Structure 1
Amino acid sequence: MKHDNKPHKKIKRKLLDKYRLVILTENTFEERLSFKLTRLNVFVTATLFLIVLFTGTYGLIAYTPLREYIPGYSSTALKKRAMALNYKTDSLQRVISMNELYFSSIKKVLQGDVSAVEFNKDSIIESIKVEASEVDFNPSLEDSLLREKVSKEDKYNLFESATAGANFVLFPPVNGTISEPYSLEKKHYAVDIAVVQDAPVKATADGIVIFAEWSPTTGHVIIIEHSYGLISVYKHNSSLVKTQGDLVKAGEVVATAGDSGEFSTGPHLHFELWNDGYSIDPSNFIDFN
């Protein structure tokens, strides 16, 4: 049985039949231009033109600054600014977290909500002896040569290299009688020194004021941070001379003693010393008389 190929031949003939496109002058009908075309050529040419048009439009929008004027697209500068703000926000969150931890520790110092840590001196000494016994103290050849070189340098630079270590001395904040001593059992991590009203309260060492505020229980409070991880606390003052952020010298007046706060029973100074987060007895280092 033979298939009828006439429709296919008819379509092929329509696609391949040649036509002439003639451009004439309207008045004289003079031929100006003429083109030989087929329907297939016209279809292929139109398709290629549309592909080139779409590709060019996409490239113009995607890879040029013109895309910033199209709704839905964000500019490069805006993206950079958003990233910078994101990094800055993350940094600020970290700073806020550190400040919250810092103020939380200061709050514990003010409220006396801390626990003393007791060390077993004998166990520490024994552990040091065990560790020392395992170390070979015989100097190596490199160490001997280095020691000899340093010894020769020190021999001729005695006055330049021999510098005395800094002596860290605590200055008594006030002079008076201790009305209540330091006591771990009573959770009294301070010494109370009885003084006259408005007696000058002085900084016990060089440092920076990290807290200077008033609280209902302890009155006017000032806290100073010193070197070597030392913090001094002065409570129940009648007034404060320094503010937060001020630099102070040892012996410089920072407040006036008084009777402020609910926990005060008379003019006195409630003085605390903290070293690396642990309370220490101020009377072991300072003579208040």
Structure 2
Amino acid sequence: MKHKQRRLFDRLKKKFQLTIFNESTLESLFSLRVSWLDGILLFLSIFVILFFLSFFLIRYTPVGAFMPPYMDVSVRNRLVEHAYKVDSLTGVVNKQTAYIDVVKGIISGDISTDSLDEEGHQIPIDTLANHHLSLMKATKREESFRKEYEEQEKFNLSTLNGNSNTNVLLFYPPVKGEVVGLFDPRVRQFGVDVKVSDRQAVLSVLAGTVIYAGYDPDFRYVIQVQHAGDYVSVYKYTTELLKKPGDLVKAGEALAMVGKVSGSTEQPHLYFELWQRGIAQNPVELVLF
């Protein structure tokens, strides 16, 4: 066996002379002594060089982008990341489009935020609350609270049982400030405008339960509280909400903050409404500002 291997190795090492002649003159142009082993080594060297050259082109040049099975992992990750970003941006655009449609509806009059119907009758406060809620998507907790509240309303005329005699109710002023806009239902002014300092807490006029707290395109942050005696107080143009629907509050407890809005030259103020059984009341007659 060893003898045969020796003979094979000797044959591979056996030298041959490779000569190139000029056909016309038979002059030797090139001569080279080679063996089968030299040819095999030359072939392997060319193969290795071509392999590494192909690997370099696929791995480090744009040529690899045309060969999906060898796509760079980082490129694939960037493609997935960009796909997620496009999907997220699509969702944002859809939300902004819906918001713009609501604003257009308010401007054109298709969506009314007035407190009077077309015949001039008072719209109940719960209808107004439901309308405000329709301008923004309610959370699951708000939906659960609203359903529970509506079930209770089927059997009760008021949310809180209490004495409806206004003489026994002491209304706290919601803010400290100057009343600059008076109550006048004839021009659909169902509350009063109170000019306030740069930043101030908005207080609940009576003890009660928060029935709505959210953002309105026209009145910024709005919060509504149900009180004893079928009273509902409404606080508009606040800059920060401190309570959420379902929270129980005491008389004089902070509900929100009001103050100057960054980038706005408008004087900070609070628009305060007080309703009883769906009828707007004059806050100046009940609250000492």
Scaled to the shorter chain, the TM-score interval is 0.3 to 0.5
TM-score by length of 2: 0.42
Q: Rg bigger for which structure?
A: 1
Q: TM-score, normalised by structure 1?
A: 0.42
